[in-house]
Amino acid sequence: MDFSLTEAQEKLRKEARAFLEKECPERLVREMEEDDEGFSPELWGKLAKMGWLGLAYPEEFGGKGGSFIDLAVICEEMGRAMLPAPYLSTVVLCGLTILEAGSMKQKTELLPKIANGERVLSLAMTEPESSWDGTAWKPEGITVRATPSGKDYVINGTKLFVHDAHIADYLLCVARTREGKKPDDGITLFLVDAKSPGISVEILDTTAGDKQSEVTFKKVKVSKESIIGTLHKGWAPLEKIIKKGAVLLCADMVGAGQRVLEITVDHAKTRVQFDMPIGINQYVQDHCAFLVSEVDSSRWLTYQAVWKMSEDLPCETEIAMAKAWTSDSHERACWRGHQVLAGVGYEVDRGVLPLFSRRGKAKQLHLGDSDFYLEKLMQEIEQWPPPEKFRGKPLGIFDIPRGKQVPSWQPWKERWEEIEKRKKERKKKKK
């Protein structure tokens, strides 16, 4: 297992950081938060020219043929810059699902347009009731129905907290087409034209200021050709991509956390109070030290999952660990930053830290919160084989009579020798 980046990946990171520092300054982030669309088509086009939108797609579909690690490197830098763009929705959750389960015709038609920046897609999965009872990202949370109507299907129901639906050209709607013996049986993926009659999109007011929507499907007709993958068998490919999206969201939070760390340490060094930098105080140093541990632990857990995914190794445990830990760790990292920056850290109009904190809350909940992944982690641990019991005659230090046991660690050995020396002296005095 090697978490170090290759020379090409380091170059990609440096290029991404330089590009985003120039094209995505704090000013743009604030403007897009107030903008109705919430993203810049011009910047989206530049991302396409950089090759980022097709980074993970094969060259035959207009992509770059990059690895999953390449994708994680880009997402980390996007998180650092708080890039306001439908990258996760379009490129990852929808684009990779089409790549995973779509027909050759669907891949040929859609993936090059995503890579060129011509199409924006949105995953319409979570629903009102399931969003409150903890099943939003589970198959049992899918209740929106798609019923047969001649050669077509008709979708009825509501999807909630749908990211980027207001700017999407297509919605990847997760619907139930039949009741099966298991919750994941009977789920089908439909690629729906977002401008189809019967679709209404209402943008929600959110803490993060991002663009999430309530999407209502009212007798929306879709053809059988719009099905992505196999009828009734859409959950398996979707779940696989959700896991990839969760890990990339972790990479995004790692990048954001790294920037929060830099802002916090810089403030501790430069903020002067009572004729000395506040960083001289142990309390401030304590926050900075813990902030480093939060960011680094999230980074290593995330890249452990990224590496295993890139090698196509079993990684259910690593995914659950990464998302469960990073979701809450990023919140704690932002809290540490606020403690050091104090009142300056709460200036909404001028301070950058609240931008990270508010977006961090949305990322914490998206694609499953920490409780969701802790449950998955426990399910994985339950499958572990029981520990083997030791067999044979016990060996080692316990074979030596207690009176003859001598510590091997030098400090303990010296202390033991001093105690033994005092014992002998006391025995002589008694005689």
- Neighbouring CB atoms inside 10 A of 77's CB total 26
- Neighbouring CB atoms inside 10 A of 172's CB total 26
Q: List the chain pLDDT tens, one digit each, 431 residues.
A: 667 888 999 999 999 999 999 999 999 999 999 998 999 999 999 999 999 999 999 999 999 999 999 999 999 999 999 999 999 999 999 999 999 999 999 999 999 999 999 999 999 999 998 888 889 999 999 999 999 998 899 999 999 999 999 999 999 999 999 998 899 999 999 999 999 999 999 999 998 888 999 999 999 999 999 999 999 999 999 999 999 999 999 999 999 999 999 999 999 999 988 989 999 999 999 999 999 999 999 999 999 999 999 999 999 999 999 999 999 999 999 999 999 998 888 887 777 899 999 999 999 999 999 999 999 999 999 998 887 776 766 666 556 676 677 888 888 889 988 998 998 889 888 87
Residue 158 contacts residue 128 (beta carbons within 8 Å): yes
pTM: 0.87
Structure tokens that stand for 119 in this block? 């199409």
- Rg of the chain (C-alpha set): 27
DSSP string, 101-157: H--HHHHHHHHHHHHTT---EEEE---HHHHHHT-TTSGGG---EEEEETTEEEEEE
Q: What is the pLDDT of residues 196-254, one digit of tens each?
A: 999 999 999 998 888 999 999 999 999 999 999 999 999 999 999 999 999 999 999 99
Structure tokens that stand for 74 in this block? 């880009």
CA 405 to chain CA centroid, nearest Å: 52
Structure tokens that stand for 200 in this block? 């209404």
Amino acid at 91: V
- Neighbouring CB atoms inside 10 A of 207's CB total 12
172/384 Cα distance (integer angstroms):
36
| Strands 170-176 vs 121-124: parallel, antiparallel or unpaired | parallel
Structure tokens that stand for 246 in this block? 């969760």
What b/e string do you get for 418-430 counting C-beta neighbours within 10 Å, with b at 16 or more? Answer: eeeeeeeeeeeee
124 DSSP β-pair partners? 173
